Amino acid sequence: MTIQHFDVAKVREDFPLLRQTVNGHPLVYLDNAATSQKPQVVIDSLVDYYTTKNSNVHRGVHTLSQLATDDYEGARAKVKDLLNAAHDKEIIFVRGTTEGINLVAQTFGRQNIGQGDEIIISALEHHSNIVPWQLLCQERGAALKVIPINDAGELLMDDYEQLLSPRTKLVSVLHVSNALGTINPAKQIVEMAHSRGVPVLLDGAQAAPHMLVDVQDLGCDFYVFSGHKLYAPTGIGILYGRADLLESMPPWQGGGEMIRSVTFQETLYNELPYKFEAGTPNIAGAIGLGVALDYVSNIGLDRISAWEHELLEYGTECLSSIEGLRLIGTAENKAAILSFVMDKAHPHDIGTILDSQGIAVRTGHHCAQPLMDRFGIPATARASLSFYNTKEEVDILVKGIDRVLEVFS
């Protein structure tokens, strides 16, 4: 079904980088799962902050500090609305998804996981949702359990149910696969864990930019995502945590802002969310994230999701018709990611030839080496789509792949 009234040409005008040429060709940017491009309003917000209100936030009585604090805390409120969190204090600013997961591992994890306990992840995970739990398991004498997948890249939910046990202390899985595009049944995952009293962290790095996320409806205990994949600057991300859990967790880093009072005998910690935000934060990044959320909200995540789904269906049809090309990840419920291999060309060669034609795709294991091992391949080429991409760009990708076939014929 064609999405009515979605003017992708008008949207593209908002992204200055999309107007450039690469290797003599108009840029076709299909690496959005790695990072998104930034609309001009986000770029302008960084310039505005540094030219008109650059100051440290909180505790300042002077005007610049108050202006910066208002914008910084305003961004937190916008994230709260985006996720439909219950309270602003449940929104913690971090550097990105990776830091958010590590924060939970080093606080909640150390506090609640001990010898013989188990943590459940899935075969789809990004390394950032594997390694922190491995480190914790090694330290605490716990075990890491993995939900297997089928050949389409979908979780085997019966196996997940079997893995849940009295020893399970946490489930941590991604909402959407960065490597395959699989959209996991997040609400069901949470319900099954909660029925056994097990908390759940959802890695939303690939979900938050592309679909409506309601943490209260999902019921998750923690949710993490990165701003740079959501059209915001790099170096800013979000950890959502249920207030009661965050209150019970110890601080992760010590320093300014996260304290209420300090003596040489003891330190009393600040209230939420500041207990987890030690030191000077990424003020400009947070403000830029707030502006990016305004931009996305004005377009509508429901419309963004619908257009990207149309692009996915078109791209799947086009790539499936290419002889010698195999899509990796064919889940029934997918985000707009096309990961593929070719019989005669290594993914790195595919990426190099496409780049010579101005087409940017990601090649490699996509920080998901165990997942590549599951499919018996070293890497894939991945075209990841965003709402500013077009069907014409998919056609250019197909022509680029035809060129790969010519080179290796």
Asked if residue 330 lies in contact with residue 181, where contact means CB atoms within 8 angstroms, the answer is no
pLDDT of residue 1: 41
Residue 409: pLDDT band by 50, 70, 90 thresholds? confident
| Residue 357 pLDDT greater than 70, yes or no | yes
CATH architecture observed for domain 44-297? 3-Layer(aba) Sandwich (3.40)
Give the tokens for residue 396.
């250019």
Amino acid letter for position 191: E
Phi-psi region of 5 (alpha: psi -120 to 50; beta: other; left: phi over 0): left
What are the structure tokens assigned to 176, written together? Answer: 């959407």
Q: What is the mean pLDDT of residues 287-307?
A: 97
- Angle in degrees, CA 172, 174, 178, rounded to 5: 145
Res 4: pLDDT: 59
Check residue 2 and give its pLDDT.
47
Q: Which helix (H) or strand (E) holds 92?
A: strand 91-94
Instruction: Say if CB 54 and CB 64 are below 8 A apart.
Output: yes
Dihedral sign for Cα 106, 169, 210, 130, please. Answer: positive
Residue ranges of the chain that CATH labels 3.90.1150.10: 8-30+300-407
Tokens of 73: 């805390």
**What's the whole-model pTM score?**
0.97
pLDDT more than 90, % of the chain: 98
In this prediction, residue 115 has a pLDDT band, given cuts at 50, 70 and 90, of very high
Considering Cα of 374, then 379, then 383, then 385, what sign does the dihedral take?
A: positive
Q: Among candidates 76, 104, 61, 28, which has minimal Cα distance to 398?
A: 28
| pLDDT band at 11; cut points 50, 70, 90 | very high
The mean pLDDT of 152-160, rounded to a whole number, is 98
**196-213: pLDDT as tens digits:** 999 999 999 999 999 999
| Mean pLDDT for all residues in the chain | 97
Catalytic residue status for 318: no
- What average pLDDT does the segment 144-165 reach? 98
pLDDT at 389 over 80: yes
> How far apart are alpha carbons 406 and 342 in whole angstroms?
13
Task: Give the contacts of 264 (CB within 8 A, at least 6 positions apart).
Answer: none
Given a contact cutoff of 8 angstroms between Cβ atoms, the answer to whether 312 and 98 are in contact is no
Catalytic residue among 137, 220, 318, 367: 367
Cα-atom radius of gyration of the chain, to the nearest Å? 22
What gap in Å lies between CA 155 and CA 329, rounded to an integer? 12
pLDDT, tens only, 216-266: 999 999 999 999 999 999 999 999 999 999 999 999 999 999 999 999 999
Tokens of 52: 């008109």
Cα(171)–Cα(278) distance, integer angstroms: 27
Q: How far apart are CA 120 and CA 131, in angstroms?
A: 13
Task: Work out the average pLDDT over 288-304.
Answer: 97
Give the pairing type, strands 118-122 and 143-147.
parallel
> In degrees, to the nearest 5, what angle opens at C-alpha 59 toward C-alphas 56 and 65?
40
Helix (H, G, I), strand (E, B) or coil at 386: coil
User: What does CATH list as the number for 8-30+300-407?
Assistant: 3.90.1150.10
| Helical segments of 195-279, H only | 215-218, 243-248
Residue 50 backbone phi and psi in degrees, to 5: -75, -20
pLDDT for 201 equals 98
Q: Could you tell me the CA-to-CA distances from 189 to 166, 170, 224, 371 in Å, in that order?
A: 16, 12, 16, 19
Helices 63-83 & 283-299 angle (0-180, nearest 10): 40
Q: What is the β-pairing status of strands 143-147 and 200-203?
A: unpaired
For the segment 362-373, the average pLDDT, to the nearest whole number, is 96
